[in-house]
Structure 1
Amino acid sequence: MFSLQTIFGSGKQFFQLLDESADAAYDAAKALHRMMREPADREPALDAFKLARLRERSASDKISQALVDSFMTPIEREDIEALGSALYKIPKQIEKFADRYSLALQHLEGIDFAPRAAMLEQAASVVVEMVGDLKNMHIDRMTALNEKLRSIENEADRLMLELYRDIYSGKLDHLQMFLLKEFFEILEKAIDRCREAGVVAYQIVLKNS
């Protein structure tokens, strides 16, 4: 006869895999911020982004397999799938930015993406905290982290308005206007992906607290 501990013991692996997934997303965000701080004449290195994506994909595949193999899960299967999917999209979006940035670097002289990349790194860091805290189900702490992530998103939205003022200032040529808009929108979407993951984590705690 199986004890309850035996039945529920496998639940730890889901929290561990979700932690791995969040860490991979955070590493991608850190790598992007680091890239944006490097000299403009230095060739961007993309290995860190590809590695983060591979780690994310591996964690995602393991989560899917664990859901098939496990009789019981510590939280609802749909919630695990939703959070895993949200986390998977973060490094994917970041790698998209890095790949395109490396191709268009010669047209981006004088454009500073570092402040927005720093905000993305902050958002990904909060997501790591939220995912790591799932096993504790502390509603007060999760609420505070959710508000912190919301504040980062709001600040990113404010910076986007400043961006549009720059785009339509008449100081940029048409190619720079296009590229500036495209790259900042990719960064904005990456922050949105972090926000989506945070919302899922927050809702999981609300449901289970």
Structure 2
Amino acid sequence: MFSLQTIFGSGQQFYSLLDDSAQAAYDSTKALHSMMKTADRQPALDAFKLARQRERAASDKIGKALVDSFITPIEREDIEALGSALYKIPKQVEKFADRYSLATKHLENIDFAPRAAMLEQAASVVVEMVHDLQKMNIDRMTALNEKLRALENEADRLMLELYRDIYSGRLDNLQMFLLKEFFEILEKAIDRCREAGVAAYQIVLKNS
């Protein structure tokens, strides 16, 4: 006698699709950090476009699978919430890269690399959290959640340093405006990582 899983499938493909989505998000942050570390910091936008395309493709597959699948390994709304949070990470990173390409000459003396590195670290933690979903290990997920929270707290501290630079008097008005805008985009990208991490953590809390 066939089981329901035999007939309808186990829904395990969702883990793989979420993995793909998390990896695409991470790759976008890695590309940004790499760009910020180079001497000329010339934007190579293809890497960001590709990451966004991969993220969009993964998101579309998740949406289609939710429609087509009778069985999901975790609740549908949780899959949707995590997929949506992951989708927003490379979207925010691409926003930074696109705008940076238009303002490069005004930002020659501004070092974005430390914040970009922190964003990459946050996205790498999200990759681990999403990859570990199948294990439903609450201790492991709690440790990763705390690591992500610590990165978010450090990012908040760096934002305070940013405002110190803005009010230092060494920047002209345009630089002050651009510095604030670009760092706030990076801060929001880290917030998106945090949202994805919280979504993954809550899934494990529900199912462990």
Short-chain TM bin: over 0.9
1:6 and 1:66 mapped to 2: Cα distance? 17
What is the Cα deviation at residue 8 of structure 1?
6.7
1:86 and 1:134 mapped to 2: Cα distance? 15
User: Structure 1 length normalisation: TM-score?
Assistant: 0.97
What is the Cα deviation at residue 192 of structure 1?
0.2
User: What is the number of equivalent residue pairs in this alignment?
Assistant: 208
2:10 and 2:105 mapped to 1: Cα distance? 51
1:154 and 1:8 mapped to 2: Cα distance? 44
Aligned-pair identity in percent equals 85
Task: Tell whether 2:5 aligns with 1:16.
Answer: no
What is the Cα deviation at residue 3 of structure 1?
1.1
2:17 and 2:93 mapped to 1: Cα distance? 20
What is the Cα deviation at residue 9 of structure 1?
3.6
Task: Tell whether 2:158 aligns with 1:159.
Answer: yes
Structure 2 gap ranges (5+): none
Classify the secondary structure of the residue corresponding to 2:133.
Answer: coil
The two structures, once aligned, show a CA RMSD in angstroms of 1.1
What is the Cα deviation at residue 109 of structure 1?
1.2
2:99 and 2:36 mapped to 1: Cα distance? 13
User: Structure 2 length normalisation: TM-score?
Assistant: 0.97
1:31 and 1:7 mapped to 2: Cα distance? 42
Residues 7, 72 of structure 1: 8 Å contact kept = no
Classify the secondary structure of the residue corresponding to 1:49.
Answer: helix
Consecutive aligned runs of 4 or more in structure 1 exceeding 2 Å deviation: 7-10
What is the Cα deviation at residue 7 of structure 1?
5.2
What is the Cα deviation at residue 12 of structure 1?
1.3
Classify the secondary structure of the residue corresponding to 1:11.
Answer: coil
1:184 and 1:2 mapped to 2: Cα distance? 56
